[in-house]
Structures are given as C-alpha cells and as structure tokens.
Structure 1
Amino acid sequence: MPFKRNTSGGEGGDGYASSGIQWQVLIVFACLGNIAVGQIRYSIPEEMKKGSLIGNVAQDLGLDVKRLRTGRARIVTGEGNQYTELNADKGILVVSERIDREQLCGDTTPCSFSFEIILENPIELHQITVEILDINDHAPVFRKNAMSFEISESATLGSSFGLESADDPDVGVNALQNYVLSQNDNFILKQHLNPDGSKYVEMILQKALDREKHPRLSLKLIAVDGGEPQKSGTASIDVTILDANDNAPIFNQTIYRANVKENAPKGSYIATVNASDADSGSNGIISYSLSNMKGHLVNIFNIDGTTGVISVAGNIDFEKDKRYEMRVQAKDQGGLTGTSKVIIDVLDVNDNVPVINVMSFSSTVTEDSPPGTTIAVINVKDSDSGQNGQVTCSIDKLLPFRIESSLANYYTVITESAFDREVLPEYNITITATDSGSPALSSLTTLCLKVSDVNDNAPVFDRATYSAYVAENNSPGTSIFRVKAIDPDSGQNARISYFLTETRVSEALASSYISIDPSTGVITTMRSFDYEQIKQLSFTVSAQDGGSLPLSSNATVNIFINDQNDNAPQILYPLQTGGSNLAEIVPRSADVGYLVTKVVAVDVDSGQNAWLTYRFQKPTDRALFEVGMQNGEIRTIRQITDKDAVKQKLTVVVEDNGQPSRSATVNLNVAVADSFPEVLSEFTELTPDKEYNDNLTFYLVLALAVVSFLFVTSLVVIISVKIYRWRQSNTYYQSNLPVIPYYPPQYGDTGGAGTLHRVYNYELYKTTDSRKSDYKFPGCGQNVMIVDPSAPGTIRRAENEKNILDEPDSPLEVGYVLILWLSVKMK
C-alpha cells in the first residue's frame, strides 16, 4: 500500500535547510516462488553529507531489524551502490558518498537511481528508488563572456540578433528562468522557448542605429535563475555600427532532421544546412556556426563554417542521449544572422553485453538434495533498448540443472535430478546471457558447485571370500593376512572398522581362535592351532563405515591349517606290554619269503607326514628276516640253517616322512623251531624273571606306603614333643623357677656338634644273578651326644630322651626294623 512521508531540515549537520523534503515510500509485496518482493521510493536533496539519513528501510518495509541481520541484508545491484549504504544493525539507509545531481543525471528530470536489497533464508528482494532533488547550487554561466556584433546602420527595425544562451545545470525552478538586457534605446530582448523547455534570446532592433551618434554600443546580458537565493550570470555585448547591410541570411528550412547511429566514428556525416543572403559582395558571404549548444554537446558535433556540413566530433551514446536538438546560425559579412533548428535522432546499436550479477548462490549441495532445489538467484541487465536489450539465459543441457525466470531480469537456477558425489563431486555451471540484437552479444559466468557427501555407499571388500593358510603349532599373536574394504564415500563416511561376527567354529566362538584389528583389518591368531583337532576355520568378517547411520558388508574368510610333523607313529600291532612279547614261531622248513608277522602302525598327521616306512634297527650280515618298507611285513629272506639260533630278537623302526621325521620302535621275539616244546624250553627261563619283577614291584610299593606312614607318625610325635616343651617352659615361668635350656636329643649344645642319636649301617652284596644275592647287616652304632657339663639339667633330660629311644617300641627303631625286613624279603 503506498504512503507518503514529509520531513524537513537537513541531515548530518550539513547546514542545508530544506523547505519540506518529501519522502515517498511505495511498498509492494509480491509472492513468486520463494521470493518476496518490495519497492520503496525515497526523495532526498543533492549534496547531502556522508552519513545522512535517507530512510528507515526496516520500518518502511515492515521488517524487524533482527530479520535484516539474520537475513544478511545487503545492497546487491544497481548504480546506487556507490552513493548509499545499508546499516543492517539499525535498519536505516544512509548516504555513503556526496551526490551531485548534475553529474548523475545532467538535465534529465526526475533524477533517480535504483538498486536492490536482498535478504536470505528465505530470499526477499526489495527494490529501492532514490530520487535526487535539485538544489540551487549553480549560477547561470555563459559559454562566452563577451559577444560582439557589427550591425549596419541601415539595419531595419525589428532585425533580430541571436545572443549566446547561458547554461545552468540546475533543473526546475533552480534552472535558468529569465534574461535581462541592460538599459538602452536601440535594442530590446526577446525570449523564445525551445521544445525541450530551454530558452534562447534574441536582441531586436527597435530603433534605427545612427553610426554618427553612437558608433559603438556596450550592453550587458544578464541570465537569472529562480532559486532561493537567486543566482545570475552576465555576458557583455559589444555592438559596432557598420554601414548598411539590409539583408540577413535566410535558411531554406526552418527545422532540419537527421539520424545518426551511436558509436558512429568521428567525421561521420549527419546533415547539411543551407542559407542564402540577397546582399552581394562581402555582405552576401555567409558563415555557419552551431549556437545554443549545451556544455556536453560542444564536443559531440561539428559544422563546417563554409559548407554547412554537420558531422560527428565525439562519442555518441544512445544510453545517455537518445535525441539532440541544436540551433544553427548563418551570419553574413555585414553581421546579419539567421537561425534554424537541427534535430538529430540517435539510432541504438547493440553495443552493450548483458551484465550478470549473482545475487545468491549456495556453493555446496548435499548429494541427496531433491530435484527442484534452488541453487542460485541471478540478475541480468542489458543497457541497450528494444530487441537489443531483450536477454535470454541458458545453461548447458547436459548438466542436471535448469534456469527459470522468476521476475523481470531475475532468474533462478534449479536442480533437475539427484546427485551422486561418487560419480561427479562438483559441477561447473556456466550461465550464458544472450541479447536479441544483430549480431547478438552474450556474456557468461561460471558457478562452481560442490556436492557434499552422504553416507549412501556401504564398504565393499576386494574379495567376497578370502583364503589363507597357517601352519599348526603357530605362536599366538601371529599375523595371518589382511582383509581390505573400500568405501567410495568421503570423510567419516569412508572410515572403515573391521570386526568379527560371532560365528561358532568347532563348538567355540571364532573370536577365541582369531582376532582382527578394527582399523587395519589384520587377522591374527589367538591360540596355537592343532591340525589333528581342527583343520579349517570359516568365519565372517564385517566392514562398517563411520557414517551417522553406518553401513556394512560382509566377507567370508577360510583359514586352512597346514599339518606339521608333530606326532610320532603309533604301533597298533604287536601290542607293547610291561613284560616280554610273545614269540612268533617260524618253522625251520619255512621257504624264502615266509610271512612271519606284520607290524601295523598309524600316524595321526596327514600328507607326507603320515607316510610310514619300516626298517630294522640293527640289520646283521647274516640277516634271516627283512621288513617291507611300505607294508611292515616281516618275511624270511633265506632258508633257515642249523646255525641259526632258536631265539631271534628283532627291533623294527617305524619312521614317517616329515621334516624332521619322527619314529617309533617295536621289539619282536621270533622263535625258529619245528615244535612247540622246543620253543617252550627255550623261553621258560623268562617266566621266573617275570615273577621276580612282579614281586619286586609289589615290595617297592609296600615299602613306599610304610615309609610314608612312618613319616606322618614321626611328624605327629615331633609336634607333640614341641607342645610338651612349650607347656613345660610356661610352667617354669609361672613358678618363677630358673629355666633350664632345652636341647633336642638328636643335637648337642653350642659347645659340640650333634648328629643322629643312632646310626645304622648296612652293606649289600649282589651277584650277577640277583636271585643269589646276599645282604649284610651290621649292629647298631652307639649314641653320640655332646652336652655341656655345666648344665646338669640338660644331662638328665638327655638321659631321659635316651631311655625313651632305647625302648623297644620307639617309632624310629620300628621304622628301621621294617626297612631291614623289607630288604630281606626282596632278597
């Protein structure tokens, strides 16, 4: 809704008094897409000091000052950027640079400039128009301060003489308003109005000149403006009276019209004016000149004083001036002049490229942004007019973007499809603005848009299944191999962690066998493997990224245990016992290759570690048997002779093929005989030995049990004695009797060296035949004890101890007797 605000007075203490500066504010809100639009118009006088208030933008737009700060309000486009400044903290618009209306607009009225203020989040566009009001800061100025005329005394009454016009850059009431001619009797001043509102004057002869009375006249021409206070400019007029020249030049046209293209080169032809003079001689010679030329037009056009040809002398810009109006003067030698008007229309040429201004741009977009997301807002302007100023914007069709026109000269860049950062992490968006001129002009700008990562890719292992080999009996902590996964995402979304899934391997969790480094993926062993217990580990490894919603993938790992030769062969047949093996009987009539027996062995290892070979440990020169290297069969290799012993003892070595190899041995007894009694008589001697060994084992076990019993009994006795002595010492202390030092019966006092109170010695004599061995037992030795003679109590106590030990039922004596008895039984 439009409204008007009236204020008065200057701003910022510049001393300028304004009689009612009118502020006009027009706010229009429109909604197109997501952009809010408003328009405000302010009017301020020129020459205001820097920092002077233009208007309260926040109040006039109905916005909160906080909205200006959070929306990063700023001036984005327009020629007013250098003159105004937005104070977002206070919401006001102030003057940032001195504004000269005449320099900014010349004689164009009204004088104004426009710019846009943009706010973000959401985007709001507000167009500001500032009108510059003129003040009377210029006085009328004549281009020539002195004018001279030569007028014939025969000049007819009513003859006109064109005078130089004054130039006042101000406009309106402050512009040139009137001309005044100094008081005289011959001339009066006549003012004329041009179509554009400017004035020009002529001096009219109202009374005949008399050269004899006044051969020379000096006049003053005063130009006055209408400002407050009023300002004026003065030019002198010198009139020289000549003899009669009674015809003034006359143009053949009252108005000349011509066209010229902007940017026409210097010297380009525009038009030719023509005037004639009825006089003859020097009074009929005419010269042409341009009059009533404003300051900036003096250097644009030129006229040939002799031919009347008007040509281009400077730069013509359609965007500054679309039409030029001037007066051309023809003057004869007698000083008579004639004038005519020349109107020159400027033809527009497409000489301005479109200007692209990026008003808002988001340099980063997430790859999951939906289609239709606004990326940028741009403003495009072309200073040309008509078709030359009509602009179209375009984007490369191969890019997933489109450009739409939201307002006049405003365009938005919008996404058309989803992004994939892993395919293309950034886009260079080139926006081309092309006008409709012939030839067309274009400009372009490039926006670099980066696509930020979203965790939309799970880690991928380089293989779906891994296989590795490790030897058994490995050391715990051995690194086996490394799994590797890659994630095409970036940053934290691509940071991969590895871990094991809880799968069971041989009734145990996989984590009890192996572990994995979560950062490197290196798999190490947790224990030593045994091929005979487990031959293969199969488990699953997961790789998980570090996204806020983590993604993961799995891979299968197979670890094969390689066998090592860590088990020796085991003999299954013949069975090995504590006693001698049964003999295999081979008849003396056995043929060569007779199968005696077969050694059966196994090896729990695998592969070549389980390949077994059989051989005899100590082969002889006259060997009667051989063993099959592969099958373990023992066969005769020759005929049996009478020289061959009946009893044959063979030792077979079973060896595997590992590195290093392991082996086992087995002993076999082979009897070479034709009848069983013969074999029995040969092996009968072995039976007593077996019985003897069995008896020996029994007695040894019994002796160990007895000795253990005696040790426990002795320990109980010693503890009892200790308790007894402790009670005796307490008794002595309580009765205040002198304490008699106690010495154990087995040891002496500090004065002597103690030993066991009894010493038993025995000797063992044994022949080569253990069953005929003899034992010799000498008598018991004497007790040895050294005591201090000065301690009678000690002697008595030692004697008591001796009596105790000499008793038949002394525990130590009983123990020795049992040991001797067992020795006799063993004999």
Structure 2
Amino acid sequence: MICLTKCVWASFWLQLYFCFICMCGSLCEVCYSVPEEMQRGTVIGNVATDLGIDVTELVRRNARVVAEGSRQFCELNTETGSLSVIERMDREELCVQSAPCVQQFQLLLENPLKVYSLLLDIQDINDNSPTFENGQIELELLESTVLGRRFPLESAHDPDIGVNSVQHYQLSENEYFALEVNTQLDRNAYPELVLKKPLDRENQADHFLTLSGVDGGRPFRSGTTSIHIHVLDANDNVPVFGQSVYKVSAQENSPQGTVLVKLNATDLDSGIYGEISYSFSHVPDKTKGVVEVDHVTGEVKVMVALDYEEASSHELDVQAKDGGGQSSHCKLIIDVIDVNDNLPVIAVKSTTSIVPEDASPGTMVALLHIYDLDTGTSGWVTCKISDDVPFKLVSEVKNYFMLVIDGVLDREKCPHYNITVTAVDAGTPPLFSSKTVAITVTDVNDNPPIFRHGDYSIKFEENQPQGTLVIKVRADDADEGQNAKILYSLSEDAASHLSINAETGEIFTLCPFDYESSTHFHVQVMACDEGRPSFTSTCTVQIFIADQNDNAPVVLYPVQLDGYLARDIVPRAAPADYLVTKVVAIDADAGHNAWLSYRILKATRSNLFSIGLHCGEIRTLRPFAEDEEIKQTLIISVSDDGLESLSATATVNIMIEDGLPIIDELVARGTDKSHGHSDLTLYLIMALAGMSSLFLVLIIAVVYMRLCRYRYMYRSTANLPIFPPTYGPPGYSDVSRFNTLQKDDRFNSFLTTGSWKGDFRFGSDFVDLDMMNKRGTLLHVGGHSATRAKLLVPHKL
C-alpha cells in the first residue's frame, strides 16, 4: 500500500480556499455547503433567517431564486424562507476535477429591487470508484532488463476529488516486481512497476499481475486492471520524450485540422525496437473527440472546435511505445484562449405586459438579466432601447436592468409598445443581441365625449305625429370599452315635448308641434360616458317649427252669429266707389298661409258692389237706382294663400236708406283747404244732422239688441261695434295672444283707403288695447258706420 501525500496537501488547500470564499462572502452574500447527490426536497438552509429578511416580505416582494445558467438546482419556499433541492447535483458533471465546486445563485426581491448573492459549495462524496482506461495492460520486457528498471503504468482515474480520489495503489503478490508511485511536475502521481528480480524468458515467458487503485473514502472504493508481461529478448531502450510536459495555447473555435503541437520521442534502439507509436493513454470526458494524435508523426490536431466556455483547458496523458513494447509517458496541457464568440444573453426575469395609461413615471414594467459568457472585455455588456418610447433602462445591481416608465402614457396615441432591448459587448468585433418586450397600455377614462357639432339647427314642420325623428346627434369618445360608451339625455325643460334614445342620440317628438303655440325650441343635449369618474359634454339643438296651413281664416267683422247678422247702412245717394263697409278676417298661420284674399261669391245684385282683393273693402260699382232693393245680401269668401288653400265665408247685409248724408272723404281729410272757411257752416249743419241720425240709429239698435238678448254686443256713444269675447274659435279669445303674433318684428301696419273714417274696437273684457299696442302695429279698417277696430296682421302679408 502506497499513500499519496499530495492528496493531503490538496485537501488542505481546498479547505483553506473555501474558508476564504466564505469569509469574503459573509460580507455580501450567503454561502451554503452541501454534499452532491442530495435527494429532491432536501432543505439546504433558511435564506430569510440567514439574510435577516422578514418571511412575509418574500411573498409581498415576489422573491425568487435564479441561477446564472440554464439549470435551476434549488428553489425558495416563500412561505417558510427555506431553500431546498429540486434537481440532482453531480459535482463531477458540473465541475469535473475543479475544486472547489461553487454554484452561484441570486435571490431577487422586487418593489424595490434587491439582489442577494447565494453561493452553493457542492461537496464531493465518494460516489465514484477508481477506473483504469484499459482493462488490461500489456508490457513486453526484455529478459536483459536490469534490476531496478522502472516501467510506468497507467494511472487510475477517479472523478472524485480530495480524499475521495485515488490515494494509493496495490499490486498482487509476486517475486519479480514491486510497485512504486512517482510524482510528476504537476503533482500528478502514477504507478511504476520496478523489476526486483532478473527475468528469465526461458524459465517464465509471461507474468500476470493485478494492479488496484484505492481511494480514501469511507467506505473506500477500488478499481483494478490486469497486467500481462511478455518477456522478450534484448530491447533495452525505451522511448524518451523531449519534454515531460507539453503546454500549448489555442484559440477557441480553431478550425478542424489545426495542428496544436507535434510530440517528439526518441528510442536509441534500431529496427522494430526503434519505431515509435503515439497515443493518448487517458482522455477526459470533456476532451474526447476534441483532439487526436497522429500515431506516426505525433501531431496533435483539432477535430472539433474548442469552446472556452465548456473547458478553459485540456489535460491529456500521451504514450510513446516502441516496437518492442516499451513505452514512456508525458503530459499534454492545452490552454484555450477565449475569443468573443458568444452573444450577450438577455433574460427577462419579470415583466408586466399590461400597464394602465395613468401609470406614474418610474413604474417598473420589466426586469432584465443581461450577461455575456465571454471573459475579459468580451464579457462587458452595454444595453439600450430606442429613444422614441416613454421608457428607459435603470440599473442598480450589476447585470440587472429595470425597464421603467419615463414619460406620460397615452393609449389614444399609442396603445401598444414593442420595446427592443439591444445588448452589445465590448469584444472585437462587438457582438450584439436584442429582445422585444411587448407592453400594452390599457385605457382609463381621461377623455370626455365630444359632439361632432357644438350647435345643431334644424327646421321641423308642425303637426308631425308623435315619435317622429327630429334629429340625430353624435358624440365621440377617444377612450375605449366602457369608458367610450356614451349615454345621451335631454335637459329637463325639453322632457315634456321631446325624447332621446340614450344609446343612439336620436331625438323624437313626444307630441305634435304647433307653430301657433311655439315657433322654435332651444334644447340642451348631454352626452355622458360610463367611465369612473364619468365625463359629460353638451351641445345645443335649435329646432325651428315650420308653419303648415292648418288654420282657416276667421271673419271678425261682420259678426257671424246664428240668428243674427249685423247690417251696414248706406245712403241711397251714395256715388260709385263709395266705401260701404269692410270685411275683417284673420288667419292664425304665418307667411303665405296667412295671406288673405276676398271675393264675392254671391250677391243680390251682381253689378252693384265690389270688394278689394286683399283689403276686404266693399264699395259701390255704380249709383243706386230708385228701384233698387232696400236690403242687399253679399256672401264673401275669404281664402288664404296656403299650398292647400283654406277658406271661410261671411254674409254681409247692407241696408239702403234714403235721406242719409254722404260723407265726403276729401272733406274729412281736410285735403281741400281752400273751401274750409266758406263751407264751415254747411259742415256743422251736416254733422249735426248726422249725429242726430246716428243717435236715433243707436237707440233703435240698443232696443233691438236687448230684445234679442245679445248682451255682449252693443253700440256705444261713439257708435263703435263690439266683437264679443266669445266670438271665434278657441285660441282667438284674446287677440293680443294669438299664437302666431308673438314677435313684434314679424308684423307691420297696413292702412286701407278710407280707414281714417272709423275703426273697430273690442270690449274691455275681450282685449287689452295697451297690450295690443305693445305686441304689434294697428290695422285701421273704415266703414260707413264710422266704427273703428285695431287688428294685428302678419308682416309677410
């Protein structure tokens, strides 16, 4: 049994190194030491306790453990703070022969972002047995080999490290050979077979031995190989390498076929005993298939591109064997030079893909882990995003970047952002990679409804049936969803005659409009969205009622009552074109619909009287004959000028009386002033006679009316005929309040020939003359009876 003192030293330095790591880490990180091959669910330690973090903070701040690489060996229980194993950890797979084997993790906490470093030192256990590359070692020795000659043997290899690796070798008992361990410059030990008794091929041509490699684990493990020694005749020189250790450097990604080194070994023998063949006696798993050696020339060539990130160096045992079976060994060390062949890695550790548009600047929307597997300047990474987005990158922890809001978001301008994050390393030439982070901006109710028109104006005909569409208003809201859903409503003053569809904005009539009641409406329409809080806007709708010819003319004079017809008296001596009386009618409509025309439909004598087409004045066509009937009856038609004309009829009774004076218009006007003084006496006599006659007629009329019980109609001392308050259809009881006569600027006065002679008037219980004067100008109508009336006539006449 041979002990390997180098293993003791290796174990000592390993423990010293790890203690140094933990001492440094205690200032900024937490170290855990765990054996490899732990079962799933095994608790490693309590992170919350070791870092002094409240357990409740782990859930609230979305705590999680992330690894540097692609494999996640442990996970964090946020409820208890414990760190447990979730994946098999094989130290030999992760670190090969490296010591110590430390895996680094980060504990991430958000809001605010905090990163803690966790070191996991994976301790080796004795789970591998020493193995020999070949199951049998073939040696050919000359029988002339001198005593004490050493023959290097294949070393046993154990993936474990420290005391769990190969500690000593054992050789089966024999009388010819002994076993010794030799240490090379790199402190690697390999066994040597030492001849202690001369060989005699004739006595024993073959020797069979067993070599065992034993590790130092508890319990220990061992591996064996058989040694077959062929005793030959004189080959007393072994190949000798020019160097015991060959050390070369090669760039990673070197092309296939690149010659790394040419090995050189010499043998002083000649002939077949001097022919040398090169081979690898041991190739680690990570180097298999990467390089190969030419058996004849000793050139070592690259077969597969070297990768610095997989292995920064390769160590191989090379054997040179002559034709006589004697061999020697050397070590080949290949150092891989890193080149910038890895793109920067952008890993999204956390993201918020949906952000409200009222999110405040500084809000984190994504957490990025950006790193580069290369070393040196090739591993230095800078990153950026485009300048035209309201976001920016903030880094408070190495290799971790927060994508935060750096402006005001407006969904109506840009509802989606595809933010490209570009990472560039500092290598030559620089390499870059990019990743797109998609952000959707959700809507908040920050826009009021806006009407397409602030004021709407429409002309709408009266008498349209209930439910007729008047107008459709439309408002638009730049928001979306519920925030853009608009409900329409009307002001309270419009609710009695209009309704609105709350969803479409269509305005309908609740009852037919009457132009004579109201000529226009002023309506406020409100649009309110359904956001929280909601926004409201208004618009004005002006509805102008268009008149229809729906009112027939109404005759005011002569009064048309059942059983009684007023009579107008005319002197028999009246000349042609003498003003007898005047038919007075009104129409509640407006414009052409109230433009009245007068015509004689029927007369006792068709050639005796005429009527003014638009003024309604009845005049004589010729002087009366002696045999003319005393009573003349005229039936007058009064028609408006509507598209479908409406009309009314009036019956006029005219009495021809003898002896009544003729009233001269020119004298009454006082136009002929040259005879004023000379005829004054004549005029006074005529006036006295006229007044007497009128007084007599008044007495007769009063008696007659009292007998007929028409108390509402009477003759005053001024001989003014009265329109009774009950006369006319509904709506005409108060002339001052006719529906179509409400605007003063819509009426003008019209004076007819002879109107200076007399007017009609109304009883005090029928019309307020002061109100009449305020609401319109006066129409003076003349007649034989010298009566006077005041009427309002539409301007469009």
Cα distance in structure 1, aligned partners of 2:355 and 2:566: 92
CA contact (8 A) 2:604 2:634 kept: no
- Out of 525, 547, 555, the residue aligned to residue 541 of structure 1 is 525
Alignment of 1:418-433 (within 5 A): 418-433=408-423
Query: Are 1:666 and 2:656 an aligned pair?
Result: no
SS of the aligned residue for 2:321 comes to: strand
- Out of 612, 615, 619, the residue aligned to residue 599 of structure 2 is 615
CA contact (8 A) 1:501 1:539 kept: yes
Pick which of 462-471 and 213-222 moved more: 213-222
Amino acid at match of 1:69: V
* Structure with greater contact order relative to length (CA < 8 Å, sep ≥ 6): 2
CA contact (8 A) 1:395 1:431 kept: yes
Shift of 1:407: 1.6
Shift of 1:418: 0.3
SS of the aligned residue for 1:224 comes to: strand
CA contact (8 A) 2:491 2:525 kept: yes
Change (3 A) 1:108 1:29: closer
CA contact (8 A) 1:588 1:674 kept: no
CA contact (8 A) 1:267 1:313 kept: yes
Cα distance in structure 2, aligned partners of 1:627 and 1:197: 147
- Residue 219 of structure 2 corresponds to 229
Alignment of 1:657-806 (within 5 A): 657-670=641-654, 675-676=659-660, 694-695=706-707, 697=709
CA contact (8 A) 2:594 2:640 kept: yes
- Residue 540 of structure 2 corresponds to 556
Shift of 1:406: 2.2
- Residue 442 of structure 1 corresponds to 432
Amino acid at match of 2:707: N
- Residue 523 of structure 1 corresponds to 507
Cα distance in structure 2, aligned partners of 1:177 and 1:80: 35
SS of the aligned residue for 2:325 comes to: coil
Alignment of 1:291-690 (within 5 A): 291-314=281-304, 316-474=306-464, 478-501=468-491, 509-526=493-510, 528-574=512-558, 578-585=564-571, 587=573, 589-590=575-576, 596-618=580-602, 622-637=606-621, 644-670=628-654, 675-676=659-660
Change (3 A) 1:486 1:653: same
Pick which of 535-544 and 596-605 moved more: 596-605
Change (3 A) 1:652 1:387: same
CA contact (8 A) 1:567 1:662 kept: yes
Shift of 1:635: 4.2
Shift of 1:698: 9.5
Cα distance in structure 2, aligned partners of 1:667 and 1:626: 14
Alignment of 1:151-166 (within 5 A): 151-166=141-156
CA contact (8 A) 1:581 1:668 kept: yes
- Residue 715 of structure 2 corresponds to none
Alignment of 1:56-135 (within 5 A): 56-79=46-69, 81-135=71-125
TM-score w.r.t. the length of structure 2 is 0.75
Amino acid at match of 2:451: F
SS of the aligned residue for 1:283 comes to: helix
**Residues 177-227 of structure 1: per-residue CA shift (max 9 Å, x gap):** 222333445444343335655322333445543334443322222211111
Change (3 A) 1:442 1:80: closer
SS of the aligned residue for 2:602 comes to: coil
- Residue 818 of structure 1 corresponds to none
Amino acid at match of 1:358: V
Cα distance in structure 1, aligned partners of 2:375 and 2:662: 142
Shift of 1:358: 1.5
SS of the aligned residue for 2:49 comes to: helix
Cα distance in structure 2, aligned partners of 1:81 and 1:270: 33
Which segments of 5 or more consecutive residues in structure 1 lack a partner in the other structure? 1-20, 31-37, 503-508, 700-827
Shift of 1:422: 1.0
Cα distance in structure 2, aligned partners of 1:372 and 1:283: 80
Amino acid at match of 1:301: V
Shift of 1:134: 0.8
Shift of 1:675: 4.4
SS of the aligned residue for 1:67 comes to: helix
**Residues 392-438 of structure 1: per-residue CA shift (max 9 Å, x gap):** 22212222211132222111112221011111112122222233334
Aligned length: 662
Shift of 1:308: 0.9
Alignment of 1:133-148 (within 5 A): 133-148=123-138
Shift of 1:439: 4.4
CA contact (8 A) 2:567 2:654 kept: no
SS of the aligned residue for 1:142 comes to: coil
- Residue 269 of structure 2 corresponds to 279
SS of the aligned residue for 1:375 comes to: strand
Shift of 1:639: 7.1
Moved over 6 A (4+): 21-30, 677-681, 684-690
Shift of 1:464: 0.3
**Residues 344-377 of structure 1: per-residue CA shift (max 9 Å, x gap):** 1212233333322222222222222232222211
Amino acid at match of 2:77: N
Cα distance in structure 1, aligned partners of 2:80 and 2:393: 36
Structure showing greater Rg? 1
Shift of 1:461: 0.7
Cα distance in structure 1, aligned partners of 2:306 and 2:621: 133
Which segments of 5 or more consecutive residues in structure 2 lack a partner in the other structure? 1-17, 664-689, 712-797
- Residue 822 of structure 1 corresponds to none
CA contact (8 A) 1:367 1:419 kept: yes
SS of the aligned residue for 1:582 comes to: strand
Amino acid at match of 1:431: V
Shift of 1:29: 11
Cα distance in structure 2, aligned partners of 1:318 and 1:195: 25
- Residue 786 of structure 2 corresponds to none
CA contact (8 A) 1:140 1:225 kept: yes
- Residue 33 of structure 1 corresponds to none
CA contact (8 A) 1:24 1:42 kept: no
Shift of 1:89: 2.9
SS of the aligned residue for 2:567 comes to: coil
CA contact (8 A) 2:594 2:641 kept: yes
Report the RMSD for the aligned CA atoms in angstroms. Answer: 3.6
- Residue 233 of structure 2 corresponds to 243
Amino acid at match of 1:230: F
SS of the aligned residue for 2:482 comes to: helix
CA contact (8 A) 1:25 1:60 kept: no
Shift of 1:612: 0.9
Shift of 1:255: 3.5
Shift of 1:166: 1.0
> Taking every aligned residue pair, what percent have the same amino acid on both sides?
44
Cα distance in structure 2, aligned partners of 1:193 and 1:620: 161
CA contact (8 A) 1:79 1:113 kept: no
Shift of 1:637: 4.9
Cα distance in structure 2, aligned partners of 1:698 and 1:343: 143
- Out of 49, 73, 76, the residue aligned to residue 39 of structure 2 is 49
CA contact (8 A) 1:167 1:294 kept: no
Amino acid at match of 1:389: G
Pick which of 668-677 and 595-604 moved more: 668-677
